[in-house]
Structure 1
Amino acid sequence: MEEILVEEHRGDLLENVHVGHICGVSQTGAVKYVVGNPLHKTFLRSSAKPIQAIPAMMNGVDVHYSLEEPEVAMMAASHRAEPIHVAALESIMAKTGVREEQLVCHPTYPLSASAKHELIAHGGQERRIYHNCSGKHLGVLALCEKMGYSTEDYWHHEHPVQQEVLRIMAMLAEIPQEDITVGTDGCGFPVTALPLQNLATAYLKLACPDLIADEAVRAAVEKMTGVMNRNYRMISGTGLICPALLEDDNIVAKGGAKGVYCFGLREERLGFALKVLDGSEDEWPLIVASILEQIGYRRKETIERLYSLYPVEIKNDNDLVVGRNETVFELKSV
């Protein structure tokens, strides 16, 4: 039931197609917009991070350790280990007493090309905090330290924090906990899989926390999503889609590996989740821009930022126009 989302033309020849699914839900959680199959089940990957940060917010980790907002934002980040990210991560460790060797994520070089080149030029080595998921791990470890939980197995599915994440996920997504598929993410954490409709519902509630009945969860979501908007540069990296969307204070957004992207709109009270089935992320800005245009989104500057990240024109290394990208899907109203 998948549909073509984006076509890439080089000259007059169709060179590539990217197929997938899109689901948009209204404030009732009912499907309002659809492309393909709204019940397609996908792993959230890093789009789960804002939800995985909720237990730390509920238990006052930020207040207990006197964390500044950019440091709190790192708990929901897929950072590129740019200097501002590394400074925040090192500050979190200094304030919480969490040691870098406690992180289960593997040492790596920064995902930011410029940060990686700078590091190597000065003889730097791979580190665990350079892993794009390290902020999430530090947040959970800080929560474990505060609550007296074991830190050695913090990444196990059965760990109390991971079980609390699963409970909150089920609540926000309006799905029985036993219907959530659990696997293992690239960083070693448990990763959940949901139908796109339920994932869109979760992001609707991140954008519109008044829909959350649980008062503690609601307050934590309000705090976490506000931090993400005010500190949008911390959430991924320069020139990427998450900062471009989160700069708009009407949007809560986060992507994950292998083509999954989610966002919620506060004023419109809508949640969206999409999956590019070949796992590509490059097309996200074009797809999200088209979604926003098709629903008549009024903040044109946000759409313009998205097009600047992934222009319709395809240029080669000599800056010559050699082709074009086109979204070919049409949101179907339900």
Structure 2
Amino acid sequence: MDSVKLVNVIRGDHVESIHRGHIAVMDAEGKLLYFAGDPSIKVYARSSMKPLQAIPVVETGAADRYHFDDADLSLCCASHSGEKMHTDRVMSILKRAGMTEGALQCGTHIPHWQDTYKEIIRSGRELTPLYNNCSGKHSGMLVTAKHMNESLHDYYELQHPVQQRILQSVCDMADFPMDDIEIGIDGCGVPVHGLPLERLALSYAKMANPDKLPVARQQAVSRIKKAMVAAPEMVGGTNRFCTDFMIAGKGRFFGKAGAEAVYCMGDNETGMGIAIKIEDGNARAMYPVAVEVLKQLDLLSGQQIQELSEHYRPKLKNARQEEVGKLVPSFTLRT
């Protein structure tokens, strides 16, 4: 099945560009409720898997041993902006486990939050893995390895017990054969999991409605999603969709972006899981789609849509900061 048009990019009165893609909406029983495009298309989940990757942090007992609060666990699910609140907490997590930022194997990039980057330049400091948007996830992996008395230098490699526990968690939550999960390498160096889009939606549906899961898994996923909505500023940061979305949702929704324009959400009230993939990988299209999906499912109030308006129909501006266009969702979900 081919992709479908999801977003029009409008300049003036003309549709200048089109973003196509796929959407899947599942329940926890594995039933496809709504879709657009091809819900069976296999995609790399990228950072949308972080809430699932955090499951072993809880289930092994590492989170309890190192006194994780909601903000700590939320940061393990994050693609954070590198704001001080993020980097300070990564350091706190590592310190509690007797490690330094030198243990992080996530590599280095410029932080998303420009004020942080400007401060680093002014002070003459070097960029370190601490500012990587995945350093929270990696700190969770490291403390799990430390708790389990496993090697720390290679925790990011596929055959390491840390990654094997994560792979098993993904397999269980997505209800998908492990041998059929495509394995690639993510931007931060750890394995990334390729699954049909509808299986990603199913994994979020099981988080939203974990009643049929084993008790230990119920407790773990409930704790993770509670942490995300209790400390949404850790998942993204200032002016980031994940954070603004969960604030607007007031505890009802949890969601996580992934690179190459993947977005996954769970609705705690209906138990639905939603997965979105923008075909061309352009992240600017996935937030309007995410809000439009919830609007079509009648899950957002008018007030919530207004609170998310800058993400829902973002304005295009020129170098003079004049509004010259906008992004407008343009699709209808099928049952």
* Bin for the TM-score computed over the shorter chain: over 0.9
Q: Tell whether the 8 Å contact from 1:39 to 1:195 is kept in structure 2 after alignment.
A: yes
Letter paired with 1:255: A
| Cα drift, residue 97 of structure 1 | 1.1
Give yes or no for the alignment of 1:81 onto 2:82: yes
Superimposed CA distance per residue, residues 185-218 of structure 1 (whole angstroms, 9 cap, x where no aligned partner): 1111000010011000001111122132x22111
| Cα drift, residue 113 of structure 1 | 1.4
Superimposed CA distance per residue, residues 192-250 of structure 1 (whole angstroms, 9 cap, x where no aligned partner): 010011000001111122132x2211111111110111000000121111112222211
Q: Tell whether the 8 Å contact from 1:38 to 1:196 is kept in structure 2 after alignment.
A: yes
Secondary structure of 2:211 counterpart: helix
Q: Tell whether the 8 Å contact from 1:282 to 1:310 is kept in structure 2 after alignment.
A: no
Secondary structure of 2:184 counterpart: strand
Counterpart Cα distance in 2 of 1:113 and 1:211: 44
Counterpart Cα distance in 2 of 1:115 and 1:311: 28
Counterpart Cα distance in 1 of 2:62 and 2:82: 23
Q: Kindly report which structure 2 residues correspond to 1:200-215, keeping only aligned pairs within 5 A, or say none.
A: 200-212=201-213, 214-215=214-215
Secondary structure of 1:283 counterpart: helix
| Residue 296 of structure 1: aligned partner | 298
Counterpart Cα distance in 2 of 1:324 and 1:224: 35
TM-score (norm 2): 0.95
Letter paired with 2:281: G
| Cα drift, residue 284 of structure 1 | 2.2
Superimposed CA distance per residue, residues 82-133 of structure 1 (whole angstroms, 9 cap, x where no aligned partner): 0110111111121111222222111333221121112212222201110111
Counterpart Cα distance in 2 of 1:313 and 1:211: 43
1:312–1:47 Cα change, 3 Å: closer
**Segment drifting more, 101-110 vs 10-19:** 101-110
Aligned sequence identity (%) = 34
List structure 1 segments (4+ residues) > 4 angstroms apart after TM superposition: none
Letter paired with 1:311: R
| Cα drift, residue 319 of structure 1 | 4.3
| Residue 237 of structure 1: aligned partner | 237
Counterpart Cα distance in 1 of 2:12 and 2:109: 39
Counterpart Cα distance in 1 of 2:300 and 2:5: 26
1:218–1:320 Cα change, 3 Å: same
| Residue 56 of structure 2: aligned partner | 55
Secondary structure of 1:282 counterpart: helix
| Residue 66 of structure 1: aligned partner | 67
| Cα drift, residue 252 of structure 1 | 1.6
| Residue 13 of structure 1: aligned partner | 14
Letter paired with 1:128: P
Q: Tell whether the 8 Å contact from 1:109 to 1:127 is kept in structure 2 after alignment.
A: no
**Segment drifting more, 74-83 vs 281-290:** 281-290
| Residue 225 of structure 1: aligned partner | 225
Counterpart Cα distance in 1 of 2:246 and 2:17: 29
Secondary structure of 2:151 counterpart: coil
**Segment drifting more, 112-121 vs 77-86:** 112-121
| Residue 92 of structure 1: aligned partner | 93
TM-score (norm 1): 0.95
| Residue 263 of structure 1: aligned partner | 265
Contiguous gaps of at least 5 residues in structure 2: none
**RMSD of aligned Cα (Å):** 1.5
Q: Kindly report which structure 2 residues correspond to 1:59-208, keeping only aligned pairs within 5 A, or say none.
A: 59-208=60-209
Counterpart Cα distance in 1 of 2:324 and 2:311: 17
| Cα drift, residue 154 of structure 1 | 0.8
1:108–1:298 Cα change, 3 Å: closer
Superimposed CA distance per residue, residues 43-65 of structure 1 (whole angstroms, 9 cap, x where no aligned partner): 01101111111101012222211
Counterpart Cα distance in 2 of 1:301 and 1:79: 26
| Residue 330 of structure 1: aligned partner | 332
| Cα drift, residue 313 of structure 1 | 4.2
- Equivalences, count: 332
| Cα drift, residue 310 of structure 1 | 4.6
1:206–1:301 Cα change, 3 Å: farther
**Segment drifting more, 175-184 vs 108-117:** 108-117
| Cα drift, residue 29 of structure 1 | 1.5
Counterpart Cα distance in 2 of 1:298 and 1:86: 33
